[in-house]
Amino acid sequence: MGEGADGQGYGRERRRILSKCMLLGCIALGCALLAGCGSQPDRDTGSPMGTGASGSREEETELSGAHGADGADFFQIQSETEEIFGADETMRLICMQFYQGEPVQFRSKADRNEADELVADVYLYKEDGSVQLLLEKVEDPNRISRGKGLLAQDGSFYYMKLSKLTKWDSDGRVAYEKDSQELLLKDICQLADGTIVVLANNSSGVVRTMLMRLDAETGTLSEIDNVTLSNGGMTGTYKGIAAGSEGLLLMERTEGIYEIDLKSGSKTNLMSFQNAVAEVATQYDDKGRTMHDFRVLENGEVQILWAQAEAGIRETLRQVETDKTVLVLRGYDLSDQWFREQVAQFNRTNQVYQVRMDVAAEGVEWEDYATQTSIELAAGKGPDLLYGEVLGDYRQGILLKGGFADLRPYLERDGLNEEAYFPIAFCSYGMGDEVYTVSIEIDAEGWMVKGEVLGEEETPDIQTLVEALAAWPEEGCFLSCDEEDILRSFLEGSESLWGMIDWEQGTCDFSGDLFAKMLEAARRYAVTEGQKRPSVAWQTYLSSFRYFCASEAHKRMGNVAAGTLFDDGCFAKMRLKEGVLAVNANSSHKEGAWEFISFLLGDSAQMAMASEGERRTPVSRAAFDKAVKLWLEAMVREGTVSIGTSTFRNGKLSNNDDWVSYAAKDVTEEWTERYRQAMEEVKPLPIRTEPVLEIICQEAASYFDGSKDRGQVAETIRNRVQLYLDENL
């Protein structure tokens, strides 16, 4: 948002908005021709996509999956596990790998040498039960504990843990021990041509994942720089690497398994996890298991070696065709663990429908993806389900033109009790009794303002707030906000833009003193590159019991919880970033889409969210009660509650010395009820003001960059908004 005062940026923004206006014109035409927009629930009559039923066994778990870049073929990933190495309490598991076509396990056993020093012997275990002594009397058993290892083709053994790499030669002597202090060594494998490759992350700064070639003789690591990898992040994007039939296998946590040609850097997808939510796709330590190695067989099956406690487990994944009807769910980012697990559970239990998650390809920008999706919807096509902010700024236009299905008939037909959920769960956006989006969690935010700016500790009205900002004699900024952000924050909660628009009469007026002061404040308090000023206001996250309590802590620091100002008061606003679903009005599978949404609103999914931790708030009242109970129990265990990780003071992120702590006993029932009431009052922003706000922010840029004065800008805005009202009311 907001390239504001930068002339070149303004030009880009103008072109973006003009393109958007042209697209919205197409949407108006396309949505007028939408099929299936009636108010009665439909019954799917289309034939299922894909043919052939998959066999099932009691020990097998079927996981949804998709195959084929064109999305034409859909598969399930069938999982079968078996224990191949039993636990042995006398031995310590080090690692496992596929060696010469079979799984092997490396274990150590503590012993003492002639000097009575503690040492360890390392043994190689095979699936047939045979055992071979690999290394004898390794000094310090802790030196070779659970980690990553590789038995190479020449009989040498490599062991990695954290930043350290040790090599023993084929005679069991230490060849070298290296400490790559700037790297975290994640995995190691040897290719058919003898090349040894290491997967590593840098250990400082922004996490970056690298493939590195190991010089077997010296232990030197050099980056393979013609293969582009995504940033690893804190939890890691990649599960591991392995030898492929022609190149290097790379397992990405949510995307699947690729084979990489190290010479060209090209990647070929062998199995997609995009819609599979298998253990390998969701967590790092999956259900108590840790992955050690994997391989892809000639028939396309994938075998994975897991350690569970001291036992060894082999999991086989195979793709099978499905005869379920596929529901396409599109989101720009669908990496949320809870959400993916619920998709997997729905796909496992629903006998008719299967959700296929459709996300932006690597390198596709959010704005481009939103444009693509909006064009598809305008043409009467597109996905069945829309998730989060996949439509970006086009959401309002599509909603206003009838692009979202009304879900109220489904609620009423199924007897769903709306009182069992917070009001924000079902949004009509002021367009009558219809329900156009369903929120499966509460994701809300508000504003904090320095109390000394307002001169009082009460929530201000818009006039008081803007006048106080205009009168404040000192320097300051709205944290992380540019001019457009600030101007929007003043206007977005009011459907009439604080009286500047009369929707009934179809008139507007932006010549008043209030709007002039808004423009002045937006320019004055915007964050300026290279200029450090203390913060006078900042957004605060409210959809967490712990961080909601931070509003009380902020008061101790002299700040006021200003929230978002709506026409009828000050409330938390729905951020609408994730956790919101809509159904394409032109979908031929609206019945299935509703089944999926109902599943996410059900006790199983909502209670699972309640157990996720303190940063998520279920939309179900019963699940909310469970979440609060768990949060309170956690606070009692801690004894004190510390606020500060998202607290800004004097224009900077707080550190430990700035944290505010209070006793868990201070979190009273009254405090809990205030939080509950805040969740009851979370509101969506008005929907029909969005096109007007686009016009205002576009033209206000001329004031922010100094090319026009306030009067000229106000008149230009009035003319353009009046034209919009004349054409659309």
- CATH assignment, 61-94+153-321: 2.120.10
C-alpha span between 426 and 442 (Å, rounded): 11
Domain formed by 34-47+324-442+577-625, architecture: 3-Layer(aba) Sandwich (3.40)
What is the pLDDT, as a whole number, of residue 455?
A: 77
63 to 268, 281, 317, 332, 343: CA distances (angstroms): 22, 11, 10, 22, 10
What is the pLDDT, as a whole number, of residue 405?
A: 96
C-alpha span between 200 and 223 (Å, rounded): 10
Grouping H, G, I as helix, E, B as strand and the rest as coil, residue 164 is strand
Report whether 520 contacts 470 (CB < 8 A). Answer: yes
Report whether 4 contacts 528 (CB < 8 A). Answer: no
Report whether 48 contacts 324 (CB < 8 A). Answer: yes
Confidence band (pLDDT; 50, 70, 90) for 422? very high
Burial class (CB in 10 A: 0-12, 13-18, 19+), 285: exposed
Mean pLDDT of the chain: 80
380 to 59, 408, 586, 592: CA distances (angstroms): 43, 22, 6, 18
Question: Does the pLDDT at position 28 exceed 70?
Answer: no
State residue 641 phi and psi, 5-degree precision.
Answer: -115, 125
Report whether 591 contacts 414 (CB < 8 A). Answer: no
What is the pLDDT, as a whole number, of residue 553?
A: 59
Tokens linked to 494: 């009011």
Residues 219-228 as b/e (b if ≥16 CB within 10 A, e otherwise) read bebeebeebe
Tokens linked to 721: 């908004």
Question: Does the pLDDT at position 172 exceed 90?
Answer: no
Name the most confidently modeled range: 531-540, 597-606, 633-642: 597-606
Which of 55-64, 488-497, 650-659, 709-718 has the lowest average pLDDT? 55-64
pTM of this prediction exceeds 0.85: no
Provide mean pLDDT across the span 444-473.
85
Question: Does the pLDDT at position 284 exceed 80?
Answer: no
Provide mean pLDDT across the span 276-287.
44
What is the pLDDT, as a whole number, of residue 717?
A: 97
pLDDT digits (tens, 9 = 90+) for 289-348: 788 999 999 998 999 999 887 788 999 988 877 788 999 999 988 878 788 888 878 887
Question: Does the pLDDT at position 657 exceed 60?
Answer: no
What is the pLDDT, as a whole number, of residue 406?
A: 96
What is the pLDDT, as a whole number, of residue 68?
A: 30
pLDDT digits (tens, 9 = 90+) for 378-397: 889 999 999 988 988 788 88
Question: Does the pLDDT at position 45 exceed 90?
Answer: no
Report whether 480 contacts 674 (CB < 8 A). Answer: no
Provide mean pLDDT across the span 40-45.
48
Report whether 325 contacts 50 (CB < 8 A). Answer: no
Number of C-alpha atoms within 13 angstroms, CB side, residue 636? 7
C-alpha span between 518 and 490 (Å, rounded): 7
Residues 41-79 as b/e (b if ≥16 CB within 10 A, e otherwise) read bbebeeeebbeeebeeeeeebbbbbbbeeeeeebbbbbb
Burial class (CB in 10 A: 0-12, 13-18, 19+), 229: middle
What is the pLDDT, as a whole number, of residue 451?
A: 84
pLDDT digits (tens, 9 = 90+) for 195-223: 999 998 887 666 678 899 999 999 999 98
Ranges of each domain in the chain:
34-47+324-442+577-625, 61-94+153-321
DSSP state of 502: E
What is the pLDDT, as a whole number, of residue 53?
A: 30
Which of 24-38, 82-96, 413-427 has the lowest average pLDDT? 24-38
Question: Does the pLDDT at position 511 exceed 60?
Answer: yes
C-alpha span between 365 and 387 (Å, rounded): 16
Question: Does the pLDDT at position 93 exceed 80?
Answer: yes
CA–CA–CA angle 387, 389, 390 (5° rounding):
65
* Element of type H or E holding 441: strand 441-442
Name the most confidently modeled range: 203-212, 272-281, 405-414, 658-667: 405-414
Grouping H, G, I as helix, E, B as strand and the rest as coil, residue 610 is helix
Nearest-Å Rg of the Cα atoms of the chain is 29
Report whether 635 contacts 613 (CB < 8 A). Answer: no
What is the pLDDT, as a whole number, of residue 613?
A: 63
Question: Does the pLDDT at position 510 exceed 90?
Answer: yes
Name the most confidently modeled range: 67-81, 281-295, 536-550, 617-631: 617-631
Report the candidate in 655, 459, 616, 449 with the shortest Cα–Cα distance to residue 539.
449
pLDDT digits (tens, 9 = 90+) for 216-260: 999 999 988 888 776 543 344 678 899 998 889 998 876 788 898
Question: Does the pLDDT at position 635 exceed 90?
Answer: no
Report the candidate in 286, 289, 346, 333 with the shortest Cα–Cα distance to residue 76.
346
C-alpha span between 404 and 386 (Å, rounded): 9
Q: 677 versus 181: which is more confidently predicted?
A: 677
Which of 173-187, 222-236, 276-290, 681-695 has the lowest average pLDDT? 276-290
145 to 94, 108, 155: CA distances (angstroms): 5, 8, 20
